[in-house]
Amino acid sequence: MKSFTEYMTMHTRNRRELVHLTPTLKTLLERSDITEGFMLVSAMHITAGVFVNDNEPGLHRDIWKWLQDLAPAGPDYEHHRTGEDNGDAHLKSLLIHHEVTLPITKGKLDLGPWQEVFYAEFDGQRDKRVIVKVLGF
């Protein structure tokens, strides 16, 4: 079994932002020289996440609205008593989750017809890391 690891630095312009990762992940897969296996993509920060869904702007707006409805920015979260103002970002990360595992078949990401991979930033405008680990043959 072979392995390949890449650390990506994410630095969003906005505090909350979606970053389309699929094209970058395809390039990393090519560099890995692995044709059968799995790719793990994991946000290495507690106020960010990674998910798979459709690359459609209306859906992206729906996702942001849904997250804002469930974990609104601004309320007096107990976490804010520590001097932070990002309690909602931690909760949004729990809803999205921090990682995905993607199958690799015949040297390609084996995604469904509308599936794309996204990094979701909930408290950005600073450097954060994402690990990409490819395992297989």
Residues 1-51: tens digit of each pLDDT: 999 999 999 999 999 999 999 999 999 999 999 999 999 999 999 999 999
Our count of domains for the chain comes to: 1
Nearest C-alpha neighbor of 98 from the set 53, 42, 56: 42
Q: In what order do the strands lie in the sheet with 2-10?
A: 2-10, 128-136, 37-43, 99-105, 108-109
Structural domain including 22 reads 2-136
User: Whole-prediction pTM value?
Assistant: 0.96
Which CATH number is 61's domain given? 2.60.120.460
